[in-house]
A and B are shown apart, each in its own frame.
Chain A
């Protein structure tokens, strides 16, 4: 066990714990906040693995933008404060969820650990220049394509939010159960 091992173990433990809390907590807003913690500590993991640019972007985009969006969405959909167990699904479905989650974990572990678990990696630090060179060299076309994707997403989000709210055939009145 190296010092980096210990460091990663500690940060990873926080990440895993906050991720599990984010999907299990009964407080809606808490879920979003635990997500912040999980994503933030994941950025720490990236840093330990030597990917400082990715860590930075993770902080900027995820913690800075995505989580704020999620919080906004929760606010706009009138998420209740405090515990709200009705936001979890039925017991049967939760058991199924646990089984599926365990299955997913087991499947991934069964594939990845035997193949790679024994290896040891050396973190490369100060690699940002090389990444930038590759990003605007070998990967420039996918990069451009991504910009188009972002534009499309922007337009799609606009279009969706400008959709007529109630179609004439819609039987649902503006009945709000959450207030």
Chain B
């Protein structure tokens, strides 16, 4: 490997880390924080792009030393980074999303006095994720993993003055932490069994013993941690609550980092994961339950941001299910492809919803109803996002989902195991459900109240058919709709922004709230990538063969259309056009509470707390009692002694000599 690649690899991790540390020093100065954070993200993206180029063009792949091996006797711990095709493309995707979010945050948290702290934390979060992605060593993976866990706590709890935000942050932290217990145990088993923490060496060692019980145990332990980080059942409930954080934090956690980290670690360990059928079956069951359950819950949410959160859970489950079913020959390609496309369209959806929620001041379905009617510049980004999420061809979401289905199909045809059927059926159902909640959300966003309907009859025709949003519109609209005169926007630290700013036309008659050019750019780029992202299969960037199982694609498309038509039919014309209102208000509330998963957590946690209370009582009343007892006894002795004390030396001399005499008498008589 050339020196340049080595340095670029280290730079990818170091740049956001340095940016976060520097950002802390200037946290009180908005402009400096923004420049530092954006610079860090740009440097990361450039270095990541170079890595991607070097890996594919020069076929450079291998390990990069970091701080040198730790001398740990029999356990080898080289602490290497690992650059290969898998990590390079994910680094690139994380870089894009990270930069987009940094630019968007600058606008979103415009009036927030803790912007500097937030953006610094985002940088650190990115550093953690990139460390996980580039890690060639289980210890580095764990370090990045924990850094992300901690940063997610800080980001979700950003509005720490709100009780609900601090509760959500604590919940996210505790749930993932609890799940991480098993994750760490799994890592220890893997490392100690192979005598090394280097991932490639370790996989080579374990590959020699397929079907080993110990390997299965280690992988199941890992699955627990991954389920925690990726918000899979039964650890899923922290993610919807994490919506308490600012929208950029949600976008970051949901799109390319944190929840995707679980998928990535499993994809990295895929060569040994594929050896254990029990672990794969468990993963398939977990993901099947999660993807269907979360999709159903998403449909009933009264808050569109929480709808997106549940959709993330469901989508991550699809991603992981690809790993559960993919045969050895297929590899982790479908999962990574899904990870990439999901990163793009989910970041897009979150940023766009965040944008809209600022304009209408709220994220509930009622507040957002008819939002894109009044704020037309959001119509295309949101439309693209929901189409990609639903998996409508030819968007990125569609391509990725077809590959997951293809992997399940391969599994059934090659191995014929139950795992393949479980995933196939579950993904098939989730296609319907995903399309349903996407349609519902879109109908709410485009709904017109009764009087508006009269005046905008023509517009209704256009709004009815969501597929009307064609590729051409997508290319033209984000640049030409809404917005502000370029000169009223503050100068952005990014030179890339200025290039695109020339395309921005002002439409002041809409009277929309200001949005920063950089934020607009972020959304535009993400929308573009969501549309054309599927083309990645024709490049060598992802390890998949460019083929689509046509009957699967066709049938899923039919399912999507049927689901769309069904929801259209169900949606009432009155109110806010919410199809879920057919479920009844009581059930809506149940859905909002995530079917009471939080209550289960609280019930479980309260048992632990009760046990802790007992320990505390025992500690205070029993163990501390001895300690306090010595204090009491010592004080009593002291007080008594002080009373006996005459402070007269001559009387002490009497006692001294009496003592000597007694000792002498005793000594002589007993001799």
Q: Check A-B contact in the complex, CB < 8 A.
A: yes
Stretch of A37-45, A102-110, A120-128 that contacts chain B? A102-110
- Please tell me which one of the listed residues B650, B654, B658, B668 contacts residue A107 in the complex, with CB atoms under 8 A apart: B668
On whether the beta carbons of A111 and B668 are closer than 8 Å, the reply is yes
Contact with A along B633-671 (1 / 0, CB 8 A): 000000000000000001100100110010011001000
On whether the beta carbons of B661 and A100 are closer than 8 Å, the reply is yes
Find chain A residues with CB under 8 A from B650 CB.
89, 93
Contact with B along A66-102 (1 / 0, CB 8 A): 0000000000000000000000010001001100100
CB distance from A114 to the nearest CB of B (A): 11
Complex: chain B residue closest to A97, CB-CB? B654
- Please tell me which one of the listed residues A93, A96, A97, A110 contacts residue B668 in the complex, with CB atoms under 8 A apart: A110
Knowing A107-B668, A110-B668 are in contact, say whether A93-B654 is a contact too (CB < 8 A): yes
Knowing A89-B650, A93-B650 are in contact, say whether A100-B668 is a contact too (CB < 8 A): no
**Measured between alpha carbons, how far is A97 from B668 in the docked complex, in Å?**
21
On whether the beta carbons of A104 and B654 are closer than 8 Å, the reply is no
Find chain B residues with CB under 8 A from A89 CB.
650
- Please tell me which one of the listed residues A100, A103, A110 contacts residue B654 in the complex, with CB atoms under 8 A apart: A100
* Total residues of chain A contacting the partner, CB 8 A: 10
Find chain A residues with CB under 8 A from B651 CB.
93
Find chain B residues with CB under 8 A from A97 CB.
654
- Label chain B's interface by main secondary structure: helix
Find chain B residues with CB under 8 A from A111 CB.
668
**Measured between alpha carbons, how far is A154 from B654 in the docked complex, in Å?**
30
On whether the beta carbons of A104 and B661 are closer than 8 Å, the reply is yes
Find chain A residues with CB under 8 A from B665 CB.
103, 107
On whether the beta carbons of B658 and A100 are closer than 8 Å, the reply is yes
On whether the beta carbons of A100 and B657 are closer than 8 Å, the reply is yes
Complex: chain A residue closest to B650, CB-CB? A89
CB distance from A89 to the nearest CB of B (A): 6
Find chain A residues with CB under 8 A from B654 CB.
93, 96-97, 100
**Measured between alpha carbons, how far is A113 from B268 in the docked complex, in Å?**
97
CB distance from A55 to the nearest CB of B (A): 29
**Measured between alpha carbons, how far is A93 from B648 in the docked complex, in Å?**
12
Complex: chain B residue closest to A108, CB-CB? B664
CB distance from A130 to the nearest CB of B (A): 33
**Measured between alpha carbons, how far is A89 from B654 in the docked complex, in Å?**
11
CB distance from A51 to the nearest CB of B (A): 27
On whether the beta carbons of B661 and A103 are closer than 8 Å, the reply is yes
Find chain A residues with CB under 8 A from B664 CB.
104, 107
**Measured between alpha carbons, how far is A103 from B650 in the docked complex, in Å?**
19
Find chain B residues with CB under 8 A from A100 CB.
654, 657-658, 661
Q: Which of B650, B651, B661 has the most CB of A within 10 A?
A: B661
Find chain B residues with CB under 8 A from A103 CB.
661, 665
Find chain B residues with CB under 8 A from A96 CB.
654, 658
**Measured between alpha carbons, how far is A97 from B658 in the docked complex, in Å?**
10
**Measured between alpha carbons, how far is A164 from B657 in the docked complex, in Å?**
32
Find chain B residues with CB under 8 A from A93 CB.
650-651, 654
**Measured between alpha carbons, how far is A112 from B638 in the docked complex, in Å?**
41
CB distance from A101 to the nearest CB of B (A): 9
**Measured between alpha carbons, how far is A120 from B665 in the docked complex, in Å?**
27
**Measured between alpha carbons, how far is A80 from B352 in the docked complex, in Å?**
105
Complex: chain B residue closest to A96, CB-CB? B654
**Measured between alpha carbons, how far is A103 from B658 in the docked complex, in Å?**
9
**Measured between alpha carbons, how far is A93 from B657 in the docked complex, in Å?**
12
CB distance from B663 to the nearest CB of A (A): 10
CB distance from B660 to the nearest CB of A (A): 8
**Measured between alpha carbons, how far is A97 from B655 in the docked complex, in Å?**
11
Find chain A residues with CB under 8 A from B668 CB.
107, 110-111
Complex: chain B residue closest to A110, CB-CB? B668
Complex: chain A residue closest to B664, CB-CB? A107
**Measured between alpha carbons, how far is A89 from B664 in the docked complex, in Å?**
25
CB distance from A108 to the nearest CB of B (A): 9
**Measured between alpha carbons, how far is A104 from B661 in the docked complex, in Å?**
7
**Measured between alpha carbons, how far is A100 from B668 in the docked complex, in Å?**
16
**Measured between alpha carbons, how far is A116 from B381 in the docked complex, in Å?**
118
**Measured between alpha carbons, how far is A134 from B651 in the docked complex, in Å?**
43
**Measured between alpha carbons, how far is A17 from B222 in the docked complex, in Å?**
97
**Measured between alpha carbons, how far is A111 from B661 in the docked complex, in Å?**
13
Complex: chain A residue closest to B671, CB-CB? A111
**Measured between alpha carbons, how far is A100 from B665 in the docked complex, in Å?**
12
**Measured between alpha carbons, how far is A93 from B664 in the docked complex, in Å?**
21
Complex: chain A residue closest to B661, CB-CB? A103
Complex: chain A residue closest to B657, CB-CB? A100
CB distance from B304 to the nearest CB of A (A): 75
CB distance from A112 to the nearest CB of B (A): 10
CB distance from A155 to the nearest CB of B (A): 25
Find chain A residues with CB under 8 A from B658 CB.
96, 100
Find chain A residues with CB under 8 A from B657 CB.
100, 104
**Measured between alpha carbons, how far is A111 from B665 in the docked complex, in Å?**
10
For chain B residues 292-312, which have a beta carbon within 8 Å of chain A?
Answer: none
Complex: chain A residue closest to B665, CB-CB? A107
CB distance from B646 to the nearest CB of A (A): 12
**Measured between alpha carbons, how far is A93 from B651 in the docked complex, in Å?**
8
CB distance from B669 to the nearest CB of A (A): 10
Complex: chain B residue closest to A107, CB-CB? B664
Find chain A residues with CB under 8 A from B661 CB.
100, 103-104, 107
Q: Which of A97, A104, A107 has the most CB of B within 10 A?
A: A107
**Measured between alpha carbons, how far is A110 from B657 in the docked complex, in Å?**
18
CB distance from B29 to the nearest CB of A (A): 53
CB distance from B239 to the nearest CB of A (A): 67
CB distance from B266 to the nearest CB of A (A): 73
CB distance from B39 to the nearest CB of A (A): 63
CB distance from A95 to the nearest CB of B (A): 11
**Measured between alpha carbons, how far is A68 from B493 in the docked complex, in Å?**
95
**Measured between alpha carbons, how far is A11 from B79 in the docked complex, in Å?**
94
For chain B residues 188-218, which have a beta carbon within 8 Å of chain A?
Answer: none
CB distance from B434 to the nearest CB of A (A): 83
CB distance from B651 to the nearest CB of A (A): 7
In the A-B complex, the 6 residue pairs with the closest CB atoms:
A103-B661, A100-B657, A107-B664, A111-B668, A89-B650, A96-B654
The 9 sampled A-B contact pairs (Cβ below 8 Å) are A89-B650, A93-B654, A96-B658, A97-B654, A100-B658, A103-B665, A104-B661, A107-B661, A110-B668
Which residues from chain A sit less than 8 Å from chain B, CB to CB? 89, 93, 96-97, 100, 103-104, 107, 110-111
Given contacts A100-B658, A104-B664, A107-B664, 16 further A-B contacts (CB under 8 A): A89-B650, A93-B650, A93-B651, A96-B654, A96-B658, A100-B657, A100-B661, A103-B661, A103-B665, A104-B657, A104-B661, A107-B661, A107-B665, A107-B668, A110-B668, A111-B668
